């Protein structure tokens, strides 16, 4: 089973005090409960909410208060509500400091595929294509391999692309990669993971940082 706690623990370190952050549907939404209490972070949702709080307790559930993944959420003091057009204007206008998105595949030059699998029902692309172009920094979190044991970190994505060369940081249960000038660099190993394991499970070509760090 994938150690998603390791992924989330590392991903939350990408968030800095004062940021405006968009968390993609799926695993990224879990990060909302992990942001330090003393951080002034505004979480933004494509469906029109700025100031998302933690997941609600049973007594706090409001069916009208949801995130883009249709999960019930809470609103922080000072939160604001608006229509989705205003939300996308915020994204396209470059006002989102950081977007943390899930991924199906990431290529060695930073391409991202995360919105559809051909032949499977999909309601639409959501806000991913806008986010990868409008947010100032894109971090992708995902499992390193699929359920068949095949690498999701590819030389070239095989699924329809969300964006080309848009990923700046990739975090998996095995490692952390940075993308600079079209090159993929292994910068961190997750606790208990060896370089040989990452090489074995990664289809993409990558370079190893001279200051490779091991997370704990």
pLDDT digits (tens, 9 = 90+) for 96-134: 999 999 999 999 999 999 998 877 766 667 789 999 999
Bridge-partner residues for 185, per DSSP?
A: 178, 207
Residue recorded with tokens 């069916």: 63
Burial 116-149 (b: 16+ CB within 10 A, else e): beeeeeeeeebbbbbbbebbeebbbbbbbbeeee
Encoded tokens for 128: 């991913």
Q: In this structure, is the dihedral angle defined by the CA atoms of residues 176, 206, 94 and 158, taken in order, positive or negative?
A: negative
* Domain parsing of the chain, residue ranges: 4-214
pLDDT score, position 1: 43
Considering only CA atoms, which of 98, 82, 97 is closest in space to residue 46? 82
Confidence band (pLDDT; 50, 70, 90) for 205?
Answer: very high
Q: What is the mean pLDDT of residues 128-144?
A: 97
Label residue 92 exposed, middle or buried (CB < 10 Å: 0-12, 13-18, 19+).
middle
Asked whether 122 and 116 are in contact (CB, 8 A), the reply is: yes
The angle subtended at Cα 138 by Cα 201 and Cα 129, nearest 5°, is 100
Compute the half-sphere exposure of residue 81: CA atoms within 13 Å on the CB side of its CA.
8
CB 126 within 8 A of CB 183: no
Q: How many helices (H) and strands (E) does the chain have?
A: 4, 13
pLDDT (tens digit, 9 = 90+) per residue, 39-94?
999 999 999 999 999 899 999 999 999 988 889 999 999 999 999 999 999 999 99
Query: pTM for the complete prediction?
Result: 0.94
Tens of pLDDT, residue by residue over 3-32, are 799 999 999 999 999 999 999 998 999 999
| CATH superfamily, region 4-214 | Glutaconate Coenzyme A-transferase (3.40.1080.10)
The catalytic site residues sit at 46
């Amino acid at each position: 089973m994938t150690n998603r706690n390791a992924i989330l623990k590392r991903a939350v370190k990408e968030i800095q005090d004062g940021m405006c952050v968009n968390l993609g549907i799926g695993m990224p939404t879990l990060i909302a409960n992990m942001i330090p209490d003393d951080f002034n972070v505004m979480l933004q949702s494509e469906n029109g909410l700025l100031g998302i709080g933690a997941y609600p307790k049973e007594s706090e559930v409001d069916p009208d208060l949801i995130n883009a993944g249709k999960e019930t959420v809470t609103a922080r003091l000072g939160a604001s509500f608006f229509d989705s057009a205003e939300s996308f204007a915020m994204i396209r206008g470059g006002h989102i400091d950081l977007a943390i998105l899930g991924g199906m595949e990431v290529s060695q030059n930073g391409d991202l595929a995360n919105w559809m699998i051909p032949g499977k029902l999909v309601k639409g692309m959501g806000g991913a294509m806008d986010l990868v172009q409008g947010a100032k920094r894109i971090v992708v979190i995902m499992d390193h391999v699929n359920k068949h044991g095949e690498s999701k970190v590819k030389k070239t994505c095989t699924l329809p692309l969300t964006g080309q060369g848009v990923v700046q940081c990739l975090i998996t249960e095995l490692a952390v990669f940075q993308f600079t000038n079209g090159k993929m660099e292994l910068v961190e190993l997750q606790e208990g993971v060896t370089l040989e394991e990452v090489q074995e499970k990664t289809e993409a070509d990558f370079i190893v940082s001279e200051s490779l760090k091991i997370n704990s």
